[in-house]
């Protein structure tokens, strides 16, 4: 009996350890496979989100072909007579997207600047292949933006996101008429940087400066200019604008929140209205402050351009309000000017004719100025 009991105990112990070992094996096996399944699901989710986002916005993305009149000289071989005739010629192409069901389209200013305003023609091609000719509504005097209008109803439109919520590493997608040949080409990447300052030059040699650009490694090819930069929900968070040809996959977009005033004024008044302070400035960083011996490490430093252009525009609100070169504006109506709150972005919260209070560092003194904003012309 005792031997039977000992054998029974040994059998029970063996079963216990065999079961324990099998349990560890099964747990390890399941964990590995669950992790693989989860990884596969995440990859699939990302792919599905990308496809959904592209399909959501593509109906509202348009290709833009720009034409202008050019003089051509012909000779009559029998008489030797020279004739000059005008012919419509394709000057360039780009991308835009529809922001209202009645046909407002936003694009880059440099896309349409390849032709003269009075003689230019803008052909719009929808993803369906349907074509229109568009009317120029206006060009933004501040950003590289322009508005066109086609005349129809119930057109597909985009959903605008919130570019202030963007973070470095966020997944983004660009869509555009790449090289003027590949309509609605999509590329994918991440937000590589925020609040970038840059000077960009278009094909006509005109330069513009930007102090709040989104940097992305999603390829922005020639012809993509004016197209949307979107998130994985298919919402527009930027307008593709420029690339840095000195690097690889370094592109820039205008934050959509900087575009909202243009859209609002166009919908309300039928033209682009921008309030103006009338200063040329540089957003201060600790390096800029140290290099130039400034007493503050934040704010907008009023300074002349590298080309020698004046720091204060003649007859502007700033000139009339007594601002001078070297002033540092660090608050507007108690809103601190720093980081994403650039001087430009804060001023654009107001309308021409609004009075604003500026807190200014002038040398070692802090002064307050009240100015009435005028309008960019």
How far, in Å, CA of 283 to CA of 269, rounded? 31
How far, in Å, CA of 215 to CA of 193, rounded? 5
How far, in Å, CA of 61 to CA of 50, rounded? 16
Choosing from 225, 265, 316, 345, which is the catalytic residue? Answer: 225
Residue 110 among the catalytic residues: yes
Interacting residues of 335 by C-beta distance below 8 A, sequence separation 6+: 341, 346
Interacting residues of 316 by C-beta distance below 8 A, sequence separation 6+: 276, 277, 278, 279, 374
Choosing from 63, 68, 93, 110, which is the catalytic residue? Answer: 110
The neighbouring-strand residues paired with 270 are none
Token pair, residue 288, equals 């800029």
How far, in Å, CA of 136 to CA of 80, rounded? 41
As a whole number of angstroms, the longest Cα–Cα distance in the chain is: 134
Choosing from 63, 93, 140, 144, which is the catalytic residue? Answer: 144
Residue 144 among the catalytic residues: yes
Angle ∠(231,235,238) on CA atoms, nearest 5: 75
Residue 225 among the catalytic residues: yes
Catalytic positions: 110, 144, 225
């Amino acid at each position: 009996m005792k031997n039977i009991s000992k054998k029974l105990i040994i059998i029970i112990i063996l079963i216990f350890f065999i079961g324990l070992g099998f349990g560890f094996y099964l747990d390890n096996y399941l964990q590995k496979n669950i992790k693989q399944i989860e990884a596969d699901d995440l990859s699939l989710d990302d792919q599905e989100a990308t496809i959904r986002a592209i399909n959501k916005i593509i109906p509202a993305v348009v290709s833009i072909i720009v034409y202008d009149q050019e003089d051509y000289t012909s000779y009559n071989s029998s008489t030797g007579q020279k004739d000059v005739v005008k012919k419509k010629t394709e000057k360039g192409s780009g991308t835009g997207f529809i922001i209202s069901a009645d046909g407002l389209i936003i694009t880059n200013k440099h896309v349409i600047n390849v032709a003269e305003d009075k003689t230019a023609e803008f052909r719009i091609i929808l993803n369906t292949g349907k074509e229109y000719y568009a009317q120029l509504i206006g060009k933004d005097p501040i950003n590289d933006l322009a508005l066109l209008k086609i005349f129809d109803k119930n057109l597909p439109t985009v959903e605008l996101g919130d570019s202030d919520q963007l973070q470095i590493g966020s997944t983004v997608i660009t869509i555009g008429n790449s090289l003027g040949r590949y309509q609605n080409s999509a590329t994918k990447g991440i937000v590589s940087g925020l609040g970038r300052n840059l000077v960009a030059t278009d094909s006509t040699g005109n330069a513009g400066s930007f102090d709040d650009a989104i940097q992305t490694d999603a390829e922005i090819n020639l012809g993509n200019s004016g197209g949307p930069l979107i998130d994985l929900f298919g919402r527009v968070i930027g307008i593709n604008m420029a690339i840095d040809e000195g690097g690889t996959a370094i592109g820039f977009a205008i934050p959509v929140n900087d575009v909202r005033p243009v859209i609002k004024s166009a919908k309300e008044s039928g033209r682009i209205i921008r309030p103006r302070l009338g200063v040329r400035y540089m957003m201060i960083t600790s390096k800029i402050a140290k290099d130039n011996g400034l007493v503050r490490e934040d704010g907008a430093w009023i300074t002349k351009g590298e080309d020698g252009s004046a720091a204060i525009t003649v007859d502007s609100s700033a000139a009339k309000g007594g601002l001078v070169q070297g002033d540092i504006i660090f608050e507007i109506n108690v809103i601190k000017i720093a980081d994403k709150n650039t001087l430009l972005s804060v001023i654009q919260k107001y309308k021409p004719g609004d009075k604003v209070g500026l807190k200014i560092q002038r040398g070692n003194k802090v002064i307050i100025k009240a100015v009435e904003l005028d309008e960019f012309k």
